Structure 1
Amino acid sequence: MRRCHFIQGLSWLLCPMFSLFLFSCAGQLGPSHTRPAENLPQIGARQETLSLESPRPEIIIRLTKKAEQQIAATELEKAFTTLEQAVDIDAQDPFLWHLLAKIQLLQGNLHQAEQLARKSDLLAVHSSQLREKNKEIIARVLELQGQ
């Protein structure tokens, strides 16, 4: 019986000490686990986009070609799904957003087509040719809406 009281008394002492030890160690993360505030991405800030000189990943090239073939075959739902997969890999690629806008326009989803073309336009800072194509989609949407 006496031994049981000793163990209970010891647990009341060790438990708070162990908790204090864990709490004090929690703040001891090394510099590899923290990022200085100036290196954190800012909410609403534009992220760097790929320049024209940057090669596109092979998977993006393959998915884009597949989507273009699906668009040509009027398999618009399949093309949209293919492009969504590509956007999951590289959401900063303005051409992917342009193709999504084109599909929405072909399906008659005018508001979505306009919004996707505008997103593509924001990302296409280095491609005046793509920005021109986006403006054509937006102009077509406005024409169809009677504006």
Structure 2
Amino acid sequence: MPGGRTLTEPQKAALKDAFEDIDITNSGMINKSELRAALQLTGQNPTMEEMITYTERLGNGTFTLAEFIEFVEQHIPFKTKEEIDKELTEAFEKFRDDRDLSISKEEFQKVMTKLGDEPLTDGDAETLIESLKNIENSGKYNVTELSRLFMG
């Protein structure tokens, strides 16, 4: 599914930051094998299957920053922060027993290990939960806070 949308300046800035984070040698280039990691740094979460579809026609596929942004605009359905927030909230809604804006550790682990194209393993989910101790309140997480944390 092609992107086909013009990116906003904040989206372009996020892509620039991600590009620079991935380009650790400061060569001004990233290769197609680094594309998924760069997208994930901006809150996108393409599956490996989607990445194969996006990159199959690229050959060796190296990108300058301008080429990277152009490629994303033309080929990748780049989600806005609002779209990602909505998806996260909808995902959490499916597992919440009540209707407050919190999710228990157990419900959160269920979300992380059951949803998405590439769910976490139980071990990875436990590691993630352990890293979230600072935002835990009585064994629960605020969904809005989690959304902000995942969006960066």
TM-score (norm. length: structure 1): 0.26
Point out the structure with the larger strand share: 2
Point out the structure with the larger helix share: 1
TM-score (norm. length: structure 2): 0.26
Higher relative contact order (CA 8 A, sep 6+): 2
